[in-house]
Amino acid sequence: MRILIDADGCPVVDEAIRIAQLNKTACIILCDTSHEFSRDGAKTVTVSKGADSVDFKIVNMLSADDIVITQDYGLAAMCLARRAAVISQNGMIYDEYNIDALLLQRHTAKKIRMAGGHLSGNPKRTKAQDDKFSDALASLIKKRSALE
The torsion angles phi and psi of 85, rounded to 5 degrees, stand at: -90, 140
Q: What is the mean pLDDT of residues 33-58?
A: 86
Q: What is the pLDDT of residue 148?
A: 65
Question: What is the SS3 assignment for 31?
Answer: strand
- Asked if residues 28 and 4 have their Cβ atoms less than 8 Å apart, the reply is yes
pLDDT tens per residue across span 48-99: 887 788 899 999 999 999 999 998 888 999 999 999 999 999 999 998 877 7
d(CA 95, CA 102): 10
Q: Is residue 132 predicted with pLDDT exceeding 90?
A: yes
Going from the N-terminus, what domains does the chain have, and what CATH number goes with each? 2-147 (3.40.50)
Confidence of residue 137 (pLDDT cuts 50, 70, 90): very high
